[in-house]
Amino acid sequence: MDKDLQSIQEARDLLVAASQAQEIYAGFSQEQVDEIVKEVSEEARKHVTELAKMACEETGFGNWEDKVIKNKLAAIDVYESFKNEKTVGILNEYKDEGIIEIGVPMGVIAALIPSTNPTSTAIYKVLISLKAGNGVVVSPHPNAKNSIIKTVEYLIEAAERKGAPKGLIGVIKTPTLQATNELMKHKLTSLILATGGEAMVRAAYSSGTPAIGVGPGNGPAFIEKTADIKKAVKRIVQSKTFDNGVICASEQSIVVEREVKDKVVEELKAQGAYFLNREERDKVGAILMRANNTMNPKIVGRTALYIASMAGITVPTNTKILVSEETEVSHFNPYSREKLCPVLGFYCEENWEKACERCIEILKNEGIGHTMSMHSNNVNVIREFALKKPVSRLLVNTPATLGGVGATTNLLPALTLGCGTVGGSSTSDNIGPKNLINIRTVAYGQKELEDLVKKPCVSELSDVVGNAVKEATNLGSNDVDVTNAKEIEDIIKQVLDKIYQK
């Protein structure tokens, strides 16, 4: 059979199986669901190193040691963040308000997995889908299919061992673009959980199926003059070199105030950054993007030394990051774009206000709505940035890579980071199980029609309000002194009583 046709049929079969299994799973109690999810988490923990090495070898992206940390984040931190949450049955009951909230599974989740974070994202998406009472069909990126399939097979075995219906978790073993399209558009798919390239996320949102997708990141890192420069640089270098920069929350440029520029440059060099001269800058820039002005996959997840060699330049053997000082932000300047590798743009501005404007310009160029970071001890400046930056996560004094996914912050641990509507996403959340359930609300009647009829319209109240206030406060009396909070409260109550008596 033709490979494309085979993969389409496989996607359909997996959806049918997952849908039938999910109908059974939807009747499981919270305790049964939690037992299955716990077993899946514990199984994933056993294989974090094996799967990290497998992903690194298959894709060539990053390094396996850092992928172990990401696998642990998915298997342990994600699980610990929601293990005690209610997701099945009655979630909340507000007796005084006559409201009951019930968690209802969405059905079958189509989980699209990228090649940059393959095994960790597969673990994460399966766990949050199961916790929410859903079935899940995983669509691997073709360049990471073996490591993703192996990961999901481990999880399937664990779930079924604890009583999960057969077929509840599925994985496409012949991944093609056609299979992914079938998965996204099929009537049995309830929601698409898309993490990956901009084109794929756009396809998910245009499929006609509800979707949660996240696009590119392009977060600048602002170093403000009150920051601990040494710590700020350490965090940025650690973040940008973590798994060779493949996490989309990682820093893509540095913005500094002129007052501290020399200190920052000196510290960057001391910690392994190499500043490119103009000729070197042009050579590296030429390989960062392809002819169609999209990111060159050959530089993704590679070391600074590898990229330098690829560009035909010689740098010191201890180089960790390549840095290019820039003055322009544009779609045609690769240093002001997303670069999933240890390469950074560097911008210097007169003051924090100008730096704020530059950061907004960078975000609007690409990655709007996603994430940015700043290093500062000035609470007022931090608040000003928070009020103005078009991002869903503003990370302060932490490595952006690890802070964005909730490893070094108290954000929800997640490997799908919403970008909000400004970034073309349906949510700005770090995605968790609560994003994968519907809330059914039971609402008891609290009023009768007669109660509504008695309420006067605002347009009818002007005279009534005026007279009621005068009566309650004895306006016109020279000895009235309304200064006590209790007196004010009593007056308001009297006014409202008189209004509704009318």
Q: What are phi and psi of 495, to 5 degrees?
A: -60, -45
Contact 466, 439 (CB under 8 A): no
* Tokens at 30, concatenated: 């919270």
Residue with tokens 């007196």: 487
Distance, in Å, from the CA atom of 50 to the CA atom of 151, rounded to the nearest integer, reads 10
56 catalytic residue (yes or no): no
Instruction: State residue 436 phi and psi, 5-degree precision.
Output: -110, 15
What are the Cα distances from residue 400, in Å, to 123, 144, 253, 409, 501?
22, 25, 12, 10, 59
For the beta carbon of residue 171, count every other beta carbon within 10 angstroms: 25
Give the closest residue to 345 by CA, choosing from 325, 370, 363.
325
The rounded distance, in Å, linking the Cα atoms of 343 and 333 is 13
* CA 15 to chain CA mean position, Å: 26
Confirm if 412 and 81 have CB atoms less than 8 A apart.
yes
Residues 232, 249: Cα–Cα separation, whole Å: 16
Estimate the crossing angle of helix 48-59 against helix 145-161, to 10 degrees: 160
Q: Considering 248, 341, 359, 419, which one is annotated as catalytic? A: 248
Q: Which residues pair with 441 in a beta bridge?
A: 101
Report DSSP letters for 151-175, one per residue. Answer: HHHHHHHHHHHTTPPTTSEEE-SS-
Name the 3-class secondary structure at 430.
strand
Q: Which of 468, 459, 466 is nearest to 500 (CA)?
A: 468
Nearest in space to 302 (alpha carbons), one of 98, 433, 116: 116
Nearest to 258 by CA among 210, 299, 216, 225: 225
CB burial string 297-324: b at 16+ within 10 A, e below? bebbbbbbbbbbeebebebeeebbbbbb
Which residues form the catalytic set?
A: 248
